[in-house]
Copies of this chain bind each other. A is one copy, B any other.
């Protein structure tokens, strides 16, 4: 007489006994390995179904040496950026039977190396995705290397090892080309902070596109990627004798600051001044006029990173460039 097995007894041993096979055969069915008689597999599958059996991750990991875990590490302050990545990463993991472990690290933590090291040693993730600008942090990279954990970096400063990114400079060029196509000839640029490589790429794109059109920069100012620095720049911009008819800000937050600042001074966007940002933050569509900007395919980048990590062949140290997208909205229009 077989009484129904208690809840937690859905182990491989019980499934095997119930199906009248060895645990090895159950393992084969669970892992969809070839070489199981169809009749046997059906019988085992039925028992698995009935007992609601699911292999336990910890047991699989312990024996196999794989953790079925992918890490996504980022600096706390980048949580908005990371949120978009997560969506794609979580989905890609799920589809591969993996799980995503998210580690939010404090930039300024003096023991950051140890934090990373502890996480790695405990979890032993099969791969880690590193987001900017954590992906350039030597403390993190060293810890990862010491554990020999496969890593894919997103938009690092230097393309070394496996990397996924967009072509930032080209995207910036396209922003300028868009403004040129609208008829603008006096185009300004609001720079990002010099310690971020993205600032340099975007400035380069701006300058090269202008040069290619035989034009010179109409105006430039320094910002630090914050809304407030955009506000401050608006003040200087509004005070100019001869203003540019369009300004490209190195990121959305600054573009939004410019927008708010120039409108407060009686300039209308886009009638008097066109504005374009970079990043496509949520705020870009929560203002009027909605902000033209550049979108990175963050979700697709995360998917690509997971796939690279889970690919059967050893991780190729190459750079994957994904297409960006110009989001043309209401803040850019022909010059007055």
Contact = CB atoms under 8 A, between A and B. Distances in A.
Contact of A282 (B80, B104, B257, B264): B80
Given A227-B286, A281-B282, A282-B282, A86 B102 contact: yes
A46 interface: no
A84 B90 contact: no
A122 B56 contact: yes
A134 interface: no
A107 interface: no
B104 A101 contact: no
B86 A104 contact: yes
A94 to B, nearest CB: 7
Contact of A288 (B99, B117, B231, B285): B231
Contact of A256 (B56, B117, B286): B286
Nearest to A147: B7
Interface stretch (A60-68, A208-216, A238-246, A315-323): A60-68
Given A62-B62, A124-B57, A288-B264, A103 B90 contact: yes
Interface residues of A, number: 54
A91 B61 CA distance: 25
A151 interface: no
B99 A122 contact: yes
Contacts of A286: 227, 253, 256-257, 281, 283, 287
B91 A84 contact: no
Interface of A: 7, 54-59, 61-62, 67-68, 76, 79-80, 82-84, 86-87, 90-91, 94, 97, 99-104, 115, 117-119, 121-124, 148, 227, 231, 253, 256-257, 260-261, 263-264, 281-283, 285-288
